[in-house]
Structure 1
């Protein structure tokens, strides 16, 4: 399929956004090398990111005591009931459950690290990809074309921020970092994504963009 002006604009904005994120916060990554993984946590992540999401049957028996909470099924998917969309910019309410599920996935990564058998980069990549897919699915449910497009812009913002942060940390166990640099990078992402959206949807006068 030929590349359209619209897709080129969006892709350019995301590339610039990712660059802003990485140059603002630095890189702490490592190569995807073979390692001894926690088998139970690995199975739970694979279940959590599968279409059927049977994760409740694969969660480690001591997950509650180690991580301090009991995962629940929310809107049909397993999630951290106290999770939230950690973002320097406000995100649509439709993303809430997806973020809670993503938080549970990251806690499985932390659980594996706590056991001394950290999962490989594949796990964090899978969880991030699932978050992106679920946010976009949530946007599709909006009937109004304009608000749906705005929702996709915010999905792009969240995806760029999450992907950039995961890359910086080498797709290893998530760690908490100071907010200032993350917020600055997130603001750059939001501005660039908003510019891309406005370029595609600005009012037309006489059949051409105003």
Structure 2
């Protein structure tokens, strides 16, 4: 009885892409784990003393936990967050990407932008930003964009977005996002 060969061309094309995408996480771990390691979280250290979070850090924690923020922060932010699909958003926020992302990501991008605006406000106010907080905002973002997907193209876009955002958070050391100029910045304007 002759056996029928199984097509392997597709498997051989997909595997290198998945390996390339997963390599940074395999080598470095997740951004939140690395931030926790660098902050000494989980280690006993007599010099470590937790601080009471300030109002902006508390607002970010609430955004991560239940998607809301206090109206009191409007003055700090310079705009009034709006609720969309049960989550507070930056109404002028957008998906900052050199490539077009699915429209279904828009609301999650606006919430993520609000979270990053709050991180910047916390830094400006001198509040101590817990090392895992930015990664928690990123994780909420990944979950929400993934939840909007109904097909492989969207799922691939969500995965690539997750990797890009994680790499940027890791590269910037967590904390408040830093404004930078990139070659594609003028494409986004």
Partner of 2:4: none
Compute the TM-score of the two structures, normalised by the length of structure 1: 0.65
Deviation at 1:70, TM superposition (A): 0.7
* Alignment CA distance shift 1:164-1:39 (3 Å): same
Cα distance, 1:64–1:114 mapped onto 2, change above 3 Å: same
The higher-RCO structure (CA 8 Å, 6+ apart) is 1
Q: How many residues align?
A: 158
Q: What is the aligned counterpart of 1:71 among 59, 81, 86?
A: 81
Are the equivalent residues in 2 in contact too, given 1:132–1:159 (CA < 8 A)?
yes
**Aligned position for 1:163:** 166
Q: Which has the larger radius of gyration?
A: 2
Stretches of structure 2 lacking an aligned partner (at least 5 in a row): 1-10, 26-34, 41-47
Q: 1:132 to 1:85 in 2, by over 3 A?
A: same
Q: Deviations over 1:111-144 (max 9, x none)?
A: 11111113122110100001100011000xx3xx
1:198 alignment counterpart: none
The Cα shift of 1:64 comes to: 1.9
| CA distance in 2 between partners of 1:40 and 1:76 (Å) | 21
Question: Alpha-carbon deviation of 1:100?
Answer: 0.2
TM-score by length of 2: 0.72
CA distance in 1, matches of 2:132, 2:58: 12
